[in-house]
Amino acid sequence: MMGDERKRGKPLVLVASPFQGHMTPMLQLGSVLHSKGFSITLAHTKLNSPDPSNHPEFVFLTLSDNFSAIDASANYTKFLEALNNNCKMQLQDHLTRKIEEGKDEMNHTITVIHDNIMYFAEEVASNLNLRSIVLRSCSASYMPAFLALPRLHAEGKLPVQDSMLQELVPELHPLRYKDLPFNDTPTEVATEMLALAERVRTPSAIIWNTMEFLEHSALTQLRQHYQVPIFAIGPLIKMARCPSTSFLEEDTGCISWLDKQAPRSVIYVSLGSLATMDETELTETAWGLAKSKQPFLWVVRPGSVSGSEWIEFLPEGFTEEVRGRGLVLKWAPQKQVLSHSAVGGFWSHCGWNSTLESISEGVPMICQPVMGDQCVNSRYLSYVWRVGLELENLEIKVVESAIRRLLVDEEGQEMRQRAISMKEKAKYSLFKGGSSFNSLKDLVEFTLAR
C-alpha cells in the first residue's frame, strides 16, 4: 500500500473482454490496482467469465452478451459489434445507478478502465462524464504496423502478393510484409476492421503491458501518435500477485512430471487459447517432437485440431515412440511451467502474454506465429531481441532441427543467455525506481487526480 488516504477505496470499473489473452492482463491489472488501495469492480461478459473465487477482493458485474461461444470462423468485426452493442446498456445502467445512489461521493469520480476491444465502455464513460483509460494487451511494436495498414492498402501494397512476403516494409523496419498483421485480408474487409478500431476515440490515457527497455522506440512513436499519457507497467504477470486466470482447467499434474526431467531439457509447446491446426500440422508437429529426441510438454487444446475433439488424429506409432519422454495435455499451468528449471525452451505462437511470460522467466523460444500481433512479436523475438528462432515452416525436419538448435546447440545457449539477461532487466523495471514501477506510480497519481 502506498499509504495515501486519497486513494483508499477510490472506485475503478474494469471492463474485460472474453478472450483469454485479454482477460489475464485485465485481472492482473485489477490485482495490482487493488493492492494500491483502489476498489475494483470487474465487469465481464457472461461468455468466458472469470472465477470470482480467485478474486474475493473484486466486485464482479456480469454483462449478458448473448453469446455461447467465440466462433473463430465467424466474422470477427460482426462479433465485436454485437458484443459491444449487447453489453452497453447494462454497463450504462450500472454506472448511472452508482452515480445516482450518491451514498458515496466518490462514485462521481469512477474511472473506467476498459479493454481496447470493449470500446462501448468508452462511449458509456463519455456519456456519463466519467474518465476512461484503455488497457492494451498487445505489444507496443505491433501498433505502428497496425496503424500503417490504411496507408499500405491505399498504396496497393496490401493485400500482399506472395512475391513480396520477404521484402522489408518501408518505414516499418524491421518488419517484412510477411510480419504484417492481416496482410492477406481484402481491402474492403480490412477497412471495416480498421473503422472498428477507430471506435476507441478519446481515452484519457493508455495502459500498456510492456516495458520501456523492451519497446522504447514503439512507445515513443505511440506517445506522439496518441498524444495522451501511455503507462508502460509490464510485465503484469510479475507485478501482480494473481492466482490462476485460466478459463480452462489447468492440468497441474505435469509439474511432477517436469520435476523428473533434466534441467533445461524440455521443450514446452503451446499455441495459446485461439490458434487452431489441421490434421497435417498436428502430424508434422508430433513427428518433429518425436524425432528431436528431446522431452516435451505439448498443450493441445480440446477442439483446436479441426474435425476432432482432442488428439484422435495423433499419428499411429507416435505414443509408443515417445513413451516416457513426452506429455500431451489439454491446458497447462503455463506460468508454473515456464518457471520450472526443467524447461529449456518454449515453442509458441508468440501471443503477447506468452511472449512476456517467457521473457520474464528467461526462456528462449521457437516462434510459430499464427495471426494478429503474433507475427510482429515473432519478428522482434527472433531478429531484434534474438531470444527466439523463427520456425520457417511446419515440416518434421524443420521442427526437429529447430528444437535441437534451441535446446542442444550453442546457438540456443546464446539465446538463453540473452533471455536470462532480459529476465533480469524485466525484474529491475519493477523494482523501486525502475521504469514500470515509476509508470505505475504515475498511473495511480493520474487516476487519483480527478
- Residue 257 Cβ vs ligand UDP, minimum distance, rounded to whole Å: 14
Instruction: Please state, in angstroms and as integers, the Cα–Cα distance from residue 354 to each residue in 254, 370, 382, following that order.
Output: 18, 13, 15
Residues 6+ apart with CB under 8 A from 127: 92
Phi then psi dihedrals of residue 307, to 5 deg: 85, 5
Residue 322 in contact with residue 340, Cβ under 8 Å? no
Q: Which candidate, 141, 215, 134, 218, places its Cα nearest to that of 180? A: 141
Torsion-angle region of 66 (φ positive above 0: left; ψ -120 to 50: alpha; else: beta): left
- Residue 441 Cβ vs ligand UDP, minimum distance, rounded to whole Å: 25
* Cα 420–Cα 435–Cα 173 angle in degrees, nearest 5: 70
| Count of residues in the chain | 450
Residue 416 in contact with residue 264, Cβ under 8 Å? yes
Q: Which is nearer to ligand UDP, 11 or 344 (CB)?
A: 344
Q: Which is nearer to ligand UDP, 270 or 378 (CB)?
A: 270
Q: Which residue is associated with the grid cell 484519457?
A: 204
Residue type, 192: E
d(CA 208, CA 217): 14
- Residue 188 Cβ vs ligand UDP, minimum distance, rounded to whole Å: 26
d(CA 20, CA 48): 8
- Residue 267 Cβ vs ligand UDP, minimum distance, rounded to whole Å: 14
Other beta carbons within 10 angstroms of residue 103's beta carbon come to 8
Per-state percent for the chain, helix, strand, coil, to nearest 5:
45, 15, 40
Phi then psi dihedrals of residue 306, to 5 deg: -55, 135
Other beta carbons within 10 angstroms of residue 315's beta carbon come to 14
Q: Which is nearer to ligand UDP, 111 or 374 (CB)?
A: 374
Q: Which is nearer to ligand UDP, 15 or 240 (CB)?
A: 240
- Residue 335 Cβ vs ligand UDP, minimum distance, rounded to whole Å: 6
Residue 302 in contact with residue 273, Cβ under 8 Å? no
Q: Which candidate, 139, 133, 113, places its Cα nearest to that of 210? A: 139
Q: Which is nearer to ligand UDP, 38 or 352 (CB)?
A: 352
- Residue 3 Cβ vs ligand UDP, minimum distance, rounded to whole Å: 32
3-state class of 262 per DSSP?
coil
- Residue 90 Cβ vs ligand UDP, minimum distance, rounded to whole Å: 25
Q: Which is nearer to ligand UDP, 183 or 273 (CB)?
A: 273
Q: Which is nearer to ligand UDP, 125 or 363 (CB)?
A: 363
Q: Which is nearer to ligand UDP, 218 or 275 (CB)?
A: 275
Q: Which is nearer to ligand UDP, 265 or 358 (CB)?
A: 358
d(CA 172, CA 189): 22
Q: Which is nearer to ligand UDP, 370 or 448 (CB)?
A: 370
Residues that bind ligand UDP (CB under 6 A): 19-21, 24, 246, 270, 272-274, 299, 331-332, 334-335, 351-354, 357
- Residue 250 Cβ vs ligand UDP, minimum distance, rounded to whole Å: 6
Q: Which candidate, 20, 57, 54, places its Cα nearest to that of 41? A: 57
Residue 132 in contact with residue 121, Cβ under 8 Å? yes
- Residue 106 Cβ vs ligand UDP, minimum distance, rounded to whole Å: 32
Q: Which is nearer to ligand UDP, 178 or 335 (CB)?
A: 335
- Residue 273 Cβ vs ligand UDP, minimum distance, rounded to whole Å: 3
- Residue 189 Cβ vs ligand UDP, minimum distance, rounded to whole Å: 21
